[in-house]
Amino acid sequence: QVQLVESGGGSVQDGGSLKLSCAASANTLSGLCLAWFRQVPGKEREGVAKIFASTGKSYFGDSVKGRFTISQDNAKKTVYLQMNNLKSEDTAMYYCAARVGVCRTPPSEYNYWGQGTQVTVSS
């Protein structure tokens, strides 16, 4: 069982930056894929970024490439999502998720979820 706790959400103006954190209760991040998804009411959950902790290989959704980065701190068992040049369309609830094994795309492939943190970007 892996518990995930997100933090770092908030309100920012267009073009601003935020850094989200996801702390995992796992003994180690090794072997886990940790992902960030986002969701707005009435829409499906969208994959934003994910990282396979064993190798550091990362993946990004098309809408955030070049603006968002994902990183990990193995000692703190924490994954970060650095979001730069934020736009109003980035407004959403952001969720951290984890699965054992390589990264997959569908949210249904992830067994563990955090409670979410709200990001609001105003123009």
pLDDT tens figures, 13-46: 999 999 999 999 989 999 999 999 999 999 999 9
pLDDT in tens, 38-59: 999 999 999 999 999 999 999 9
| Long-range CB contact pairs, 103-108, < 8 A, 24+ | 103/33, 103/35, 103/50, 103/51, 103/52, 103/57, 103/59, 104/33, 105/47, 107/37, 107/45, 107/47
Residue 100 to residues 35, 42, 96, 116, 121: CA-CA distances in angstroms? 11, 29, 14, 20, 32
pLDDT > 70: what percent of the chain? 100
